[in-house]
Amino acid sequence: MLSRIDPSAHVEEGVTTGDGVLIWQHATVRRDATIGDRTSVGAGAYVGAGVTVGADCKIQNAAQIFEGAKLASGVFIGPGAILTNDRHPRAVNPDGTRKDLSDWHRAGVTVEEGASIGAAVIVGAGRTVGAWALVGAGAVVTRDIPAFAVVAGVPARQTGWVCRCATRISPPERCGKCGHEYALGPIGVEEVV
């Protein structure tokens, strides 16, 4: 499968792209980023330097994924979502001198396999969104999200559990839609294999 990079996209040198990658109009992908096979980067999206994006991801229009982020395979990032990377942002030091890279302590976001982040979500620096979790549109994520959790609101709070197919579940339960089975474990929901 051939990759397609729109001529208006800005893809810096040193970017690694897999097979079948689509990078749409006016997207920016910074140096040393890695974009996995069959991943789509939407129009106007920003992927920071050194960001790792797994295979089969979908990064929607105007999403901003800042330096230090790691996205596993099958991740969905909704339009206008922002994955931040600075827990203590300042433009200047206490003495008024301009901050530079040596003053910056990057804390990227980790999004685990199959997780979905809705439109206009903001994920705070250093947070982890667990595998197959679902973050509702407009949420502000200020703490880690467990696997299979559904969260929404400002700040984001858990409202339930969700199956791989995005159907709400109440473990222990077998999903009526796709048949995956789940149980409550010591730190949340686990799949029964």
Q: Is residue 180 part of a domain?
A: no
Range of weakest confidence among 80-84, 99-103, 152-156, 161-165: 99-103
Phi, psi of 103, rounded to the nearest 5 degrees: -90, -5
Q: Is residue 40 part of a domain?
A: yes
Share of the chain above pLDDT 90, in %: 91
Q: Is residue 179 part of a domain?
A: no
pLDDT at 95: 94
Q: Is residue 147 part of a domain?
A: yes
Whole-prediction pTM: 0.95
pLDDT at 137: 98
User: What is the mean pLDDT of the segment spanning 140-167?
Assistant: 97
pLDDT for 175 beyond 90: yes
pLDDT at 193: 82
Greater confidence, 167 or 106? 167
**Long-range contacts of 54-58, Cβ-Cβ distance < 8 Å, separation of 24 or more:** 54/113, 55/18
Q: Is residue 174 part of a domain?
A: no
User: What is the mean pLDDT of the segment spanning 87-102?
Assistant: 90
Other CB atoms within 10 Å distance of the CB of residue 135: 27
pLDDT at 167: 96
Buried b vs exposed e over 36-51: b needs ≥16 C-beta within 10 Å?
A: bbbbbbbbbbbbbebb
pLDDT for 191 beyond 90: yes
Distance in angstroms (rounded) separating the CA atoms of residues 181 and 131: 15
DSSP line for 163-187: -TTS-EE-SSEE-TTT--EEEEETT
pLDDT for 105 beyond 90: no
Q: Is residue 173 part of a domain?
A: no
Q: Is residue 156 part of a domain?
A: yes
Confidence category of residue 2, pLDDT binned at 50, 70, 90: confident
The number of domains in the chain is 1
Domain span at residue 29?
Answer: 4-162
Other CB atoms within 10 Å distance of the CB of residue 94: 6
**Tens of pLDDT along 21-65?**
999 999 999 999 999 999 999 999 999 999 999 999 999 999 999
Domain of 90, CATH number, reads: 2.160.10.10
Q: Is residue 192 part of a domain?
A: no
pLDDT for 101 beyond 90: no
pLDDT at 78: 98
Distance in angstroms (rounded) separating the CA atoms of residues 48 and 38: 19
**Tens of pLDDT along 179-190?**
999 999 888 899
pLDDT at 103: 81
